[in-house]
Structure 1
Amino acid sequence: MPDPDFTRMTAPVRAGVAALCLGAGALLGLIGTFAHQSLPPVGVVIALLTVALYVVGLRAWGGVRTPAAAGALGVGLMSGLLATATGGSVLVPANAVGYTWLFGITGIAFLALAWPHIQRAPQPRADTMEGSASATSTAPPEVKERPLP
């Protein structure tokens, strides 16, 4: 399995991963656009939760914003293309559920991409299972056992 750290991948692999994220996002946008009106309050919630899990998962997996941005762009482009059909749209009507779907995608993408990347401080590696810090430890020295008289 390739290293999940996006920044360590070669340029062609990064381009391929971004293209896959864009394509999967477009497929998710297609499915969500068709399904969000299925059960009026529940359908849009499930569709938006799916988009949120996808975009946030890409953001957490890649370590950078590129995969999540490509995935969110795919969802947004497909939903936008389907919403602006010629002669009016029956897929995304101008009602509360349709607006929730379109603006919800935008809000999810904004929050996932604007979230800061928190880096942990590097931890020194231990030489043994007890750790290499035993020499500089503030613990009291070990007491040697004496044989019983």
Structure 2
Amino acid sequence: MRRAIEIVVSAILGAVVAVVGAIAHRSIPPLGVILSIALVLAAMIFVRTWGGWIGVLAFAVPFVILTIVFSRPGPGGSLLVAGDGLGYSWLWGGSAAVIVACLLPPRLLGASKAPALTPAAGEGEATSVQGP
């Protein structure tokens, strides 16, 4: 059940970040692009730390799909991500943020060595052993 919640929340977060970034990247040039890319990076780091690689995949799929949809002309011919400097900065910067979050070493994300488990004396139960 926990894994299903992680996947659903990661997917929803990916969709929300794509929508917010597609709208906000043009708000206050160039600050809007910078903040939108920072949002992608922060959300990806959160998802990778919380949900692992399955969470990253669940985040990335709706993010990429919605970003592609927003860069295509709509029924009226308008689009949210234009083919100008700001639009390309959002597309390339958001993609770079996803890649950077995936390449971060686990120790920077708060991962630590798990304590070793050994059987307890005479009981056969596992207990944690503190290292020196």
TM-score class, shorter-chain normalisation, is 0.7 to 0.9
Matches within 5 A, 1:51-70: 51-62=40-51, 64-70=52-58
Taking a change above 3 Å as real, the CA distance of residues 90 and 112 of structure 1, as seen in their structure-2 partners, is same
Select the residue among 71, 80, 83 that pairs with 2:71.
83
- Which one-letter code corresponds to 1:96 in the other structure? G
Matches within 5 A, 1:1-149: 12-62=1-51, 64-86=52-74, 88-118=77-107, 120-122=112-114, 124-125=129-130
2:8 and 2:58 in contact (8 A); partners too:
yes
- Which one-letter code corresponds to 1:84 in the other structure? R
Q: How high is the sequence identity, in percent, across the aligned residues?
A: 25
How far is 1:16 from its partner? 3.0
5+ unaligned residues in a row in structure 2: which ranges? 116-128
Aligned-residue RMSD, C-alpha: 2.3
- Which one-letter code corresponds to 2:70 in the other structure? L
Taking a change above 3 Å as real, the CA distance of residues 44 and 13 of structure 1, as seen in their structure-2 partners, is same
User: Residues of 2 paired with 1:103 and 1:20: CA distance?
Assistant: 25
Give the total of aligned pairs: 115
1:69 and 1:109 in contact (8 A); partners too:
no
1:76 and 1:105 in contact (8 A); partners too:
no
- Which one-letter code corresponds to 2:130 in the other structure? R
Relative to total residues, which structure has the larger helix share, 1 or 2? 2
User: Residues of 2 paired with 1:51 and 1:122: CA distance?
Assistant: 29
- Which one-letter code corresponds to 1:81 in the other structure? V
1:28 and 1:75 in contact (8 A); partners too:
yes
**Cα deviation code 1:107-129 (max 9, x no counterpart):** 11112123343464455428xxx
- Which one-letter code corresponds to 1:125 in the other structure? Q
5+ unaligned residues in a row in structure 1: which ranges? 1-11, 127-132, 134-149
Taking a change above 3 Å as real, the CA distance of residues 14 and 76 of structure 1, as seen in their structure-2 partners, is same
**Cα deviation code 1:116-148 (max 9, x no counterpart):** 43464455428xxxxxx6xxxxxxxxxxxxxxx
Task: Report the TM-score when normalising by structure 1.
Answer: 0.66
**3-state DSSP class of the match of 1:65?**
helix
- Which one-letter code corresponds to 1:95 in the other structure? D
- Which one-letter code corresponds to 1:94 in the other structure? G
Relative to total residues, which structure has the larger strand share, 1 or 2? 2
